[in-house]
């Protein structure tokens, strides 16, 4: 999921992650090693 123009993202634990780029990719598969951000791991997960 790409987010544009946001200043921060709050995860399920309530932690606020500042956003300093115009577009960021949010992980939706929950397998990223750098949650809440997508690191491309979803591409190698079997369906």
Q: Which residues bind ligand FES (CB under 6 A)?
A: 27-29, 31-32, 38-42
Q: How far is the CB of 18 from ligand FES (least distance, A)?
A: 20
Comparing CB distances to ligand FES, the nearer of 6 and 29 is 29
Distances (CA, A) of 19 to 3, 12, 30, 45, 46: 10, 17, 19, 26, 30
Q: How far is the CB of 37 from ligand FES (least distance, A)?
A: 8
Comparing CB distances to ligand FES, the nearer of 2 and 13 is 2
Task: List all residues 6 or more positions away from 17 whose beta carbon is below 8 Å from its beta carbon.
Answer: 8, 9, 10, 11, 36, 37
């Amino acid at each position: 999921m790409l987010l544009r123009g946001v200043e921060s993202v709050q995860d399920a634990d309530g932690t606020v992650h500042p956003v300093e780029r115009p577009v960021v990719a949010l992980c939706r598969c929950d397998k990223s090693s750098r949650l809440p951000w997508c690191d491309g791991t979803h591409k190698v997960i079997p369906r």
